[in-house]
């Protein structure tokens, strides 16, 4: 048997990620030995200087997909054909042979549907409810391919995006080797949300420290980054804290990087959707809204923005490298390890940085040196900058100074929680014309109402942004106001937006409406709603009893499937999901829309009706019988939700998805 050293594996994998040509034997050995995201930062959380590759990293214009993504998507689109055929056939559209339709067009994958999935922010609420939706879409979940179920939709998708709490879900799935929700839920080392994030995970197993040791370890990791000459922000501490809950590795995997996702065997073979994390640019002290913020994305290959401000991308692997005008500074070396996976997930959720400030006032056993370190950071940044993630050196320094006057002149690029511009669903990367996404399943776990339920606000903001110059050619369906969402019940059941592709306006009028790149995706809006439990815990909740966690996962599953297609009046939901997926493909291939799909669109598409009157207080009731919770979970729900008392019945729920 031939063995490959760890160093050889990491070196060859790095070459592959950079697009280098390697021998088939080396590629095979490399991919065989890489089974998950890698602890490939040589100094753990501390970034390292290395010799730059022969072709030094540089900023590229955001006028196309990267070469790496272009080649990867070609493989992925072909790999979705069989899962999509199985999925659409199983949805059983009346009087339509979906399997035959796929077979007739399989030689032209671009004619077939291109699917994206997006998970909103909202803290643990977004992660847990989103986990239920994701598990419903995943054919690996037990029973998810039975009648009325939606398992296989994930395997049919090309892209998946997460923001803040939604990115904790996406990031945790991918950094842990594209594992399943069920595996993470049942693993005693991660997703143990009954442990307050400020106290750290329980001692034992991969977590070796008590609370004091936990924070000493975090302090040492962040201090190592500072000692190496890099600035640190509260996001560094926050990212290390959430890693202990999300990454199944000792001490939260300080050496795991976001770019190492691209080195895993499953990703290399395009066997899973393309993951994207979202953050916003914001200068310290600046107030941002959807129409003035630049939306940055992190994917396994690149980090940057499509917006006309910066309008550029850099290889994710080389974040932290000293660059000017889009190129590595003369005689500088390259930096690796800056793109720590927890730091990226923390950047997308930097709104939660302020939770770290509670350490100064808490009774937890926190080392004095950590309190002092946090205090010095606050003194240096100022209280108005608590929520930033500091990317210094700025990879876009001097780049595109005309459109990027702010970021190009600052040595630091400061990013914040991707939901702070009120676009709490990460739709921006999925509506980019160059990605040609046909349909987006948008799971909204926002807390827009006083009772912590969504009201469509994120869709409204993305629509408004698409109509402004910063939209830069993106097109998005018309969206009603938030009062209409509540008054028409669009926020407590799935709704389609953009069913008529010809009735769309773009922020770039010169685009031809018949051009696929100018046609927006159809949006399948799936809002959080109570089915089997009240799943609206506050965004700032720091702990969730495992019984309540499991009930929320189950609730998300029911939300996605509409009770497995058994909800009265919505028994056609599985068929209609298939129709939504096929809609744009029908347009491209000139296929007559089946009558069953016409009926679906009549039922689920927003028809332009408005009711903008004040809806009053919104407090929905569960659609199904509520699950029994143990007393601790019920107590947590009562104290945290403040909406509905959940009866304690003293029994522990064992969920089987």
What are the tens digits of pLDDT across the range 434-489? 999 999 999 999 999 999 999 999 999 999 999 999 998 899 999 999 999 999 99
Considering the domain boundaries, does residue 22 fall inside one? no
Distance CA 424, CA 457 (A): 8
In a domain, 329, yes or no: yes
Q: How many domains does the chain have?
A: 1
The residue assigned the tokens 């008392």 is 645
Please tell me the pTM assigned to this model: 0.88
Q: Is the pLDDT of residue 17 over 80?
A: no
Tokens matching residue 66: 């990267």
pLDDT tens track for 592-641: 999 999 999 999 999 999 999 999 999 999 999 888 776 444 434 433 33
Residue 550 included in any domain = yes
CA–CA dist 308, 315 (Å, integer): 19
Residue partners of 498: CB distance under 8 A and separation at least 6: 476, 477, 478, 504, 520, 521, 522, 523
For residue 497, the number of C-alpha atoms closer than 13 Å in the C-beta half-sphere is: 25
Q: Which of 495, 604, 560, 582 is nearest to 148 (CA)?
A: 560
Instruction: Report yes or no on 4 lying in a domain.
Output: no
Look at residues 252, 115, 100, 99 and name the one whose alpha carbon lies nearest to residue 176: 252
Indicate whether 640 belongs to any domain.
Answer: no
**Nearest to residue 173, comparing CAs of 157, 189, 185?**
185
Q: Nearest Cα to 444, choosing from 164, 135, 642, 158?
A: 164
Q: Take residue 12 and report the two structure tokens written for it.
A: 């060859």
Give me the residues paired with residue 605 across strands: 496
3-state secondary structure of 331: coil
Q: What is the separation of C-alpha 261 from the centre of its chain, rounded to a whole number of angstroms? A: 14
Q: Is the peptide bond before 393 cis (omega within 30 degrees of 0)?
A: yes
- In angstroms, what CA-CA distances link 375 with 218, 225, 343, 369, 370? 15, 17, 20, 10, 8
* Residue 286: predicted pLDDT: 74
Q: What mean pLDDT is predicted for residues 216-244?
A: 91
Is 386 a residue whose pLDDT tops 70? Answer: no
Domain extent at residue 326: 67-604
Sign of CA dihedral 197, 201, 206, 209: positive
pLDDT of residue 204: 55
Give 3's pLDDT tier (boundaries 50, 70, 90). Answer: very low
Choice among 157-161, 327-331, 372-376 with the minimum mean pLDDT: 372-376
Q: What is the pLDDT of residue 649?
A: 21
Residue 490 scores a pLDDT above 90: yes
Helix (H, G, I), strand (E, B) or coil at 116: strand
Establish if 163 belongs to a structural domain. Answer: yes
Q: What is the pLDDT of residue 13?
A: 42
Q: Output the domain CATH number for residue 260.
A: 3.40.1090.10
With respect to residue 458, please indicate whether it lies within any of the assigned structural domains. Answer: yes
Domain for residue 62, yes or no? no
Asked if pLDDT for residue 526 goes beyond 90, the answer is yes
């Amino acid at each position: 048997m031939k063995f490959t050293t760890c160093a050889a594996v990491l070196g060859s994998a790095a070459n592959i990620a950079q697009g280098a040509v390697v021998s088939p034997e080396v590629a095979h050995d490399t991919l065989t030995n890489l089974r998950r995201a890698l602890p490939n930062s040589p100094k753990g959380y501390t970034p390292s200087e290395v010799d730059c590759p022969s072709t030094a990293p540089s900023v590229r214009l955001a006028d196309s997909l990267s070469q790496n993504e272009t080649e990867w998507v070609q493989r992925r689109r072909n790999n979705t054909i069989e899962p999509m055929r199985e999925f659409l056939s199983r949805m059983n559209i009346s009087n339509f042979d979906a399997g035959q339709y796929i077979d007739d067009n399989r030689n032209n994958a671009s004619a077939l549907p291109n699917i994206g999935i997006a998970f909103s922010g909202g803290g643990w609420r977004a992660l847990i409810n989103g986990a239920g939706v994701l598990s419903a879409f995943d054919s690996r979940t037990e029973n998810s391919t039975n009648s009325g179920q939606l398992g296989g939709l994930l395997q049919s998708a090309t892209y998946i995006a997460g923001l803040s709490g939604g990115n904790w879900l996406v990031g945790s799935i991918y950094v842990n080797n594209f594992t399943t929700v069920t595996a993470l839920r049942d693993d005693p080392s991660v997703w143990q949300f009954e442990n307050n994030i400020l106290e750290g995970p329980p001692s034992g197993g991969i977590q070796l420290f008590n609370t004091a040791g936990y924070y000493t370890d975090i302090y040492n990791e962040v201090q190592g980054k500072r000692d190496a000459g890099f600035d640190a922000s509260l996001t560094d501490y926050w990212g290390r804290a959430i890693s202990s809950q999300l990454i199944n590795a000792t001490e939260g995997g300080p050496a795991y990087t976001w770019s190492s996702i691209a080195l895993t065997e499953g990703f290399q073979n395009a066997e899973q959707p393309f993951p994207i994390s979202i953050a916003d640019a914001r200068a310290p002290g600046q107030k941002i809204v959807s129409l003035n913020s630049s939306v940055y994305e992190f994917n396994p290959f690149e980090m940057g923005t499509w917006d006309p401000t910066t309008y550029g991308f850099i290889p994710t692997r080389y974040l932290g490298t000293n660059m000017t005008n889009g190129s590595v500074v003369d005689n500088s070396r390259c930096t690796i390890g800056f793109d720590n996976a927890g730091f990226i997930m923390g950047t997308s959720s930097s709104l939660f940085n302020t939770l770290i400030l509670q350490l100064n006032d808490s009774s937890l056993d926190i080392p004095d040196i950590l309190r002092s370190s946090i205090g010095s950071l606050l003194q240096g940044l100022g209280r108005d900058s608590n929520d930033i993630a500091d990317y210094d050196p700025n990879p876009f320094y001097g780049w595109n100074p005309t459109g990027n006057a702010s970021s190009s002149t600052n040595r630091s690029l400061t990013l914040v929680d991707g939901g702070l511009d009120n676009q709490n669903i990460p739709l921006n990367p999925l509506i980019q014309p160059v990605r040609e996404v046909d349909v987006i399943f948008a799971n909204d776990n926002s807390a827009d109402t006083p009772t912590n339920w969504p009201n469509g606000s994120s869709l409204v903001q993305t629509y408004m942004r698409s109509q402004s110059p910063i939209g830069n050619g993106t097109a998005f369906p018309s969206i009603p106001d938030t009062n209409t969402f509540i008054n028409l019940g669009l926020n407590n059941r799935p709704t389609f937006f953009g069913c008529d592709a010809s009735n769309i306006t773009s922020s770039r009028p010169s685009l031809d409406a018949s051009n696929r790149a100018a046609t927006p995706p159809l949006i399948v809006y799936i809002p959080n709603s109570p089915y089997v439990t009240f799943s609206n815990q506050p965004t700032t909740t720091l702990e969730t009893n495992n019984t309540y966690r499991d009930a929320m996962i189950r609730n998300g599953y029911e939300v996605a499937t509409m009770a497995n297609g058994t909800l009265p009046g919505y028994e056609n939901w599985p068929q209609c999901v298939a129709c939504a997926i096929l809609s744009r493909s029908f347009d491209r291939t000139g296929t007559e829309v089946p009558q069953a799909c016409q009926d679906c669109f009549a039922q689920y598409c927003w028809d332009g009706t408005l009711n903008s009157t004040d809806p009053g207080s919104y407090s929905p009731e569960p659609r199904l019988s509520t699950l029994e919770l143990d007393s601790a979970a019920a107590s947590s729900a009562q104290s945290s939700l403040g909406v509905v008392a959940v009866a304690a019945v003293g029994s522990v729920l064992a969920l089987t998805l």
